Structures are given as structure tokens and as C-alpha cells.
């Protein structure tokens, strides 16, 4: 289903969800939950957005039913730990590649994905200062390395 | 009809909010 323009800010979280449907359904579920909450704040009133969000809610309810045996889904506190560990794992992979001077597209994507996953953590409450800093650094690094590679420069 | 449309939209928004709360075991 096409994403209405008003909901464009959630497109990257939805894409991350899709990429994790098979790899890690818990990550996929919470990315969609974050997209749902943000989408409702952005525009839950116009017919095209409501239609999209109702479909997204259907999908979330179905996922929760299918994953009901998984404690990371049935208990949000466990889910919080799962998403935080995963976000840090992706961030640390990107950071280690960056520090080793291995600049490649997957490194940019890993930094960017980790920043999206730190966004997702906000469904569980306010982000810690450490996670806010990680998110800011990951977003900046992704943009910086992307620009360097685009301009044929070596990132510092 | 404008206010009817707005009421319908609000009711549907409430329904989504309720489903979200239920999904998160907040009801």
C-alpha cells in the first residue's frame, strides 16, 4: 500500500521493519509500532492516512498474535532490552568498521539503521542521554561518510 | 456535513488509539 505523503517521515522505519521481518521479527514489530505511533501523531485524520494506519494496525495485531510466545513481544520491558541490544550491536559494528577505515555502503547503512533503531526505543519511554548521543553520532556519521564517498573523498 | 465528517474522523482516530492501547496492554 502506498505511503501517503503526510506519513513520509515514517517510511525509513517501515522499510527497516520490512527488512527484519524474517531476520528478526521482534525488531520488525517494534519498528512498525514506532511507525504507528508517529503516524497517528502526524496525521490520523485524513481518509488516506487513516486507511494506511488501519492496515498497519491490522498488521501489528497479527504479528503480536503470531509472536505471542515470544517474551520480547508479550513483555515490553524484555522488548526494550532486545531493541536496545540490537541497536547497540549495529552501531558498534558500524563504529568498528569506521575506526578500521573500512568505508563501504553497508557501513553507512548500519550507522543509519542504528539511528532509526534508537528512534524506535522511544516507544518504551524517554531515551537515555547515552542513546541520544549514539543516535546523533550515527546520523551524522552516516551523512558524513555518504557525502565523502559521493565526492570521492576519504572520510577522516 | 463538515462537522459530521470531523466527528467520524475523531471516532475513527479514537478507535485506532484504543486498538493501540490494547496492543500494548494498556487497557
Q: What is the pLDDT of residues A26-51, one digit of tens each?
A: 999 999 999 999 999 999 989 999 99
Report chain A's mean pLDDT, rounded to a whole number.
Answer: 96
Model confidence band, residue B25 (pLDDT cutoffs 50, 70, 90): confident
Task: Calculate the CA dihedral of residues A18, A124, B25, A51 and round it to 10 degrees.
Answer: -40
pLDDT at A105: 87
Query: Do A79 and A124 touch, CB atoms closer than 8 A?
Result: yes
Residue A147, C-alpha cell as written in the block: 557525502
Task: Confirm or reject contact between A42 and chain B (CB < 8 A).
Answer: no
pLDDT at A122: 97
Q: Is the pLDDT of residue B1 over 60?
A: no
pLDDT at A104: 87
Provide the ipTM: 0.84
Model confidence band, residue B9 (pLDDT cutoffs 50, 70, 90): low
Q: Which of B10, B17, B23 is the closest to A60 by Cβ?
A: B23
pLDDT at A156: 82
Task: Confirm or reject contact between A109 and chain B (CB < 8 A).
Answer: no
Residues in A touching B19 (Cβ below 8 Å): 57, 61
pLDDT at B3: 66
Other C-beta atoms closer than 10 Å to the C-beta of A21 total: 14
Between residues A52 and B10, the one the model is more confident about: A52
B13–A50 C-beta distance less than 8 A:
yes
DSSP letter at A68? Answer: T
Chosen for mutation from B15, B24, B26, B27 (greatest number of chain A CBs closer than 10 Å) is: B24
- Please give the backbone phi and psi of residue A73, each rounded to the nearest 5 degrees, phi first: -100, -45
Q: Is the pLDDT of residue B14 over 90?
A: no
Q: Is the pLDDT of residue A7 over 70?
A: yes
Amino acid at each position: 500500500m502506498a505511503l501517503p505523503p503526510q506519513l513520509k517521515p515514517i517510511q525509513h522505519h517501515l522499510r527497516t521493519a520490512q527488512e527484519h521481518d524474517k531476520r528478526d521479527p521482534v525488531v520488525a514489530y517494534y519498528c512498525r509500532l514506532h511507525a504507528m505511533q508517529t503516524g497517528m501523531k502526524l496525521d490520523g485524520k485524513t481518509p488516506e492516512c487513516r486507511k494506511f494506519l488501519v492496515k498497519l494496525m491490522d498488521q501489528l495485531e497479527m504479528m503480536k498474535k503470531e509472536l505471542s510466545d515470544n517474551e520480547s513481544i508479550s513483555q515490553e520491558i524484555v522488548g526494550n532490552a532486545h531493541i536496545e541490544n540490537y541497536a547497540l550491536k549495529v552501531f558498534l559494528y558500524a563504529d568498528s568498521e569506521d575506526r578500521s577505515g573500512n568505508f563501504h555502503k553497508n557501513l553507512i547503512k548500519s550507522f543509519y539503521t542504528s539511528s532509526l533503531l534508537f528512534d524506535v526505543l522511544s516507544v518504551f519511554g524517554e531515551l537515555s542521554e547515552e542513546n541520544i548521543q549514539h543516535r546523533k553520532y550515527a546520523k551524522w556519521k552516516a551523512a558524513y561518510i555518504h557525502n565523502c564517498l559521493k565526492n570521492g573523498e576519504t572520510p577522516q | 456535513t463538515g462537522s459530521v465528517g470531523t466527528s467520524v474522523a475523531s471516532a475513527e482516530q479514537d478507535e485506532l488509539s484504543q486498538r493501540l492501547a490494547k496492543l500494548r496492554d494498556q487497557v
